[in-house]
Amino acid sequence: MPQYADLVKPELLTQPVYQPGKPIDDVARELGLDPDGILKLASNENPLGASPKATAAAKAAIDQVQLYPDGGCYALKQILALKFDLAAEQFIVGNGSNEVLELLGHAFIDKGDEAVMGKGAFIVYKLVTLLFGGVPIEIPMADFRHDLKAMVAAITDRTKIVFLPCPDNPSGTANTESETLAFIDSLPDHVIFVFDEAYAEYQDKPIDLRPLIRNGRKIVCTRTFSKIYGLAGLRIGYGYADAELIQLLNRAREPFNANSVAQAAAIAALQDESFVEECRSANQAGLAQLQSGLQSLNIEYIESHANFVTAKIGGGGAAFEALQKEGVIVRPLAPYGMAEWIRISIGRPEENERALACLNSFLNS
């Protein structure tokens, strides 16, 4: 009798599984801790929560959950179009920007196709490529930054997609605007450039690729409501590109991929610019606090452009375990080939203090 393993698509048997940040309830259950006392700094979530306007809109939308959502996300795309000065047809909304990345795989990665990415960059690029039978071409980072020259040199006739996050997760590094523009300029015509802007709103001046998109370059930018907008639990993100490319992604999209509560919250979140501004400046202060705290503890870290700091703690797994016992969840980075490192999301000031105190006692233990 054939086993499932004989029936399944072969690439699925070797497909790596994404390891998420550990949920608070899991830690509470395993260690017998009060969930209310647990601090999760493991998934780059917003320590200030979401805009009250967004949560109010979500609560109001709950009253209509018997209805299917607007699969075309009309209202959300109208607001995005205004905000970005692009056409509504240039946007696709996903169940998190993760889904937009997956749709790119659906649409463009066939067996044996190559996708070029940084080694140790956000792992979803590799997972998506493998899932569709593609070949991830992983280019070593140079001083934790994407080595754009080496990435261009790795492009072949089989390359379909080049992924670049800015800033990157988990390194927190960002390539400069001029480097990035020169890089895009040197990409051949058959390559689609995916620019992952999950942390763009934390930048004072994010790199703007809209002029290139308007000029017909094969570029897809992805953004999310999970990070600065604080809506990670609702799963909603988007991509913008040339309308023709968006139309192709829509063919691979399931009809109701973005739920109605998430759409309502996202619309309200986009309109609350002062909340975003508050989160951006709180993050800058928290970043300074965490980085100077690490410095005082003599812990090496990578200068970050995002809402987390990646630090070399010796045994990343041991530090993760030790902090977890103290009720602080951070992210061990062994899955990224950085076994000595942990990633700490920036929390509120007292939360950053608590994380630093735990690191201090770990180092002294």
Ligand X SMILES: *Cc1c(COP(=O)(O)O)cnc(C)c1O
Interacting residue ranges for ligand X, rule: CB under 6 A: 44, 96-98, 122, 165, 169, 196, 198, 224, 226-227, 232, 237
Shortest separation between residue 164's beta carbon and ligand X, angstroms: 10
**Nearer Cβ to ligand X (238/301):** 238
Of 174, 263, 280, 180, the C-alpha closest to 227 is: 280
Shortest separation between residue 52's beta carbon and ligand X, angstroms: 21
**Nearer Cβ to ligand X (322/344):** 344
**Nearer Cβ to ligand X (69/94):** 94
Shortest separation between residue 207's beta carbon and ligand X, angstroms: 15
Shortest separation between residue 230's beta carbon and ligand X, angstroms: 11
**Nearer Cβ to ligand X (196/242):** 196
**Nearer Cβ to ligand X (195/362):** 195
Contact partners, residue 72, CB within 8 Å, separation at least 6:
none
Of 129, 108, 250, 100, the C-alpha closest to 190 is: 108
- 238: its two tokens: 């988007």
Nearest residue to ligand X on Cβ basis: 96
Shortest separation between residue 31's beta carbon and ligand X, angstroms: 26
Shortest separation between residue 43's beta carbon and ligand X, angstroms: 8
Alpha helices in the chain (DSSP H): 4-7, 10-13, 24-31, 52-62, 74-84, 97-108, 124-131, 148-153, 177-185, 210-214, 243-252, 260-271, 273-296, 316-325, 349-364
CA distance readout (Å), 46 to 87, 123, 340, 348: 29, 21, 25, 9
Identity (one letter) of the amino acid at 63? D
**Nearer Cβ to ligand X (158/280):** 280
Strand pairing report for 114-118 and 39-40: unpaired
